[in-house]
Amino acid sequence: MSGETDLARLLAEMNPILQEGEFVYCTVEGDAASWLALEPIGTFREAEGATLILERSRAEAAGLSYGPVLRLITLSVHSALEAVGLTAAVSAALTRERISANVVAAYYHDHVFVPTADAERAVEALRGLSGA
Judgement on whether residues 107 and 131 belong to the same structural domain of the protein: yes
Candidates 52, 47, 49; CA nearest to 62 is 52
pLDDT for position 132: 58
pLDDT block averages, 10 residues each, the chain of length 132: 80 93 92 83 90 96 95 93 90 97 94 98 93 64
- Domain hosting residue 119, numbered range: 1-22+70-132
Q: Domain boundary at 39, 68, 97, which? A: 68
Candidates 51, 59, 91, 61; CA nearest to 73 is 91
Judgement on whether residues 88 and 109 belong to the same structural domain of the protein: yes
Judgement on whether residues 50 and 113 belong to the same structural domain of the protein: no
Judgement on whether residues 42 and 103 belong to the same structural domain of the protein: no
Instruction: Name the domain count of the chain.
Output: 2
Judgement on whether residues 131 and 87 belong to the same structural domain of the protein: yes
pTM for the whole structure: 0.92
Judgement on whether residues 32 and 93 belong to the same structural domain of the protein: no
DSSP state of 101: -
pLDDT for position 120: 98
Judgement on whether residues 17 and 77 belong to the same structural domain of the protein: yes
pLDDT for position 92: 95
pLDDT for position 127: 94
pLDDT for position 8: 85
Judgement on whether residues 43 and 77 belong to the same structural domain of the protein: no
pLDDT for position 48: 86
